[in-house]
Chain A
Amino acid sequence: MSSAATATERIGVPVYDSARRGSRTLEEALALWTYRSLVYELVIRDIKVRYKRSVLGIFWTMLAPLLNMVALTLVFSAILRNQIQNYPAYFMAGSIFWAFFSQTTTSTASHTQESNEIAKRIYVPRSVFVAASVGVGLVNLVLSIAPLLAIIVATGFPLHATLVFLPVSIAIVALFTAGVAFLLFTFASRFTDVREMYQVLVQTWFFLTPIVYHPSIVPPRFRFALWANPMYYLVQTFRKPIYDGVLPSAGLLAGSIGFSVVVLVTGWVYFCHRADQFAYRT
Chain B
Amino acid sequence: MAAIALEGVSVSYRIPRERIRSIKEYAIHKLKRRVVYDDFQALHDVRLTIEAGETVGLIGPNGAGKSTLLRLIARVIQPTAGRVVVAGKTAPLLELGLGLHGELTGRENVLLQGALLGFSRAEMKRRMARIIAFAELEEFVDAPMRTYSTGMAARLAFSVATDVDPDILLVDEALAVGDERFQIKCHDRMDAFREAGKTVLLVSHAMAQVRDNCRRAIWIHEGRVKRDGPALEVTEAYHLWSVETALAPGSVSGAAAP
What residues make up the interface of A, taking CB atoms closer than 8 Å to B? 1, 3-4, 6-10, 13-19, 34-35, 37-38, 40-42, 44-45, 48-49, 52-53, 118-124, 191-194, 197, 276, 279-280, 282
Contacts and interface: CB of A to CB of B under 8 A. Distances in A.
B110 to A, nearest CB: 10
B6 to A, nearest CB: 9
B215 interface: no
Given A41-B121, A280-B13, A122 B94 contact: yes
A121 B87 contact: no
A86 to B, nearest CB: 40
Interface in B82-133: 82-89, 92, 94-95, 98-99, 101, 103-104, 108, 111-112, 114-121
B7 A3 contact: yes
Contacts of B94: 121-122
A274 to B, nearest CB: 13
B26 interface: yes
A109 B8 CA distance: 37
Contact of A1 (B3, B7, B71, B92): B7
A237 to B, nearest CB: 32
Given A40-B121, A282-B15, A14 B89 contact: yes
B7 A191 contact: no
Interface string B1-32: 11111010000011100000111101000000
Interface stretch (B58-66, B73-81, B220-228): B73-81
A131 to B, nearest CB: 13
Interface of B: 1-5, 7, 13-15, 21-24, 26, 49, 71-72, 74-79, 82-89, 92, 94-95, 98-99, 101, 103-104, 108, 111-112, 114-121, 167
Nearest to B12: A280
14 contacts: A4-B2, A7-B85, A17-B83, A17-B86, A18-B78, A19-B85, A40-B115, A45-B104, A48-B108, A118-B116, A121-B76, A122-B94, A192-B22, A282-B13
A104 to B, nearest CB: 21
A191 B116 contact: no
B98 A17 contact: no
B76 A122 contact: yes
A71 B75 CA distance: 51
Contacts of A8: 85, 87
A48 B103 contact: yes
Contacts of A35: 115, 118
A192 B77 CA distance: 22
Contacts of B115: 35, 37-38, 40-42
Contacts of B23: 191, 193-194, 197
B127 to A, nearest CB: 13
A17 B1 contact: no
Nearest to A197: B23
A279 B72 CA distance: 11
Contacts of A40: 115, 121
Contacts of B15: 282
Nearest to A38: B115
Given A17-B85, A18-B78, A18-B82, 14 more contacts: A4-B5, A7-B86, A10-B88, A18-B85, A19-B83, A34-B118, A48-B104, A52-B103, A121-B95, A121-B98, A122-B74, A191-B22, A193-B23, A194-B23
B193 to A, nearest CB: 16
Nearest to A49: B103
A10 B87 contact: yes
A256 B134 CA distance: 53
A19 B95 CA distance: 26
B76 A120 contact: yes
Smallest CB-CB A-B distances: 4 pairs: A193-B22, A38-B115, A41-B115, A18-B84
A206 B179 CA distance: 56
A4 B83 contact: yes
A49 B101 contact: yes
A121 to B, nearest CB: 4
Nearest to A9: B1
B125 to A, nearest CB: 11
A45 B24 contact: no
A118 to B, nearest CB: 6
A18 B118 contact: no
B204 to A, nearest CB: 18
B236 to A, nearest CB: 27
B116 A124 contact: yes
A211 B197 CA distance: 64
B79 A18 contact: yes
Contact of B117 (A1, A121, A122): A122
A53 B103 CA distance: 9
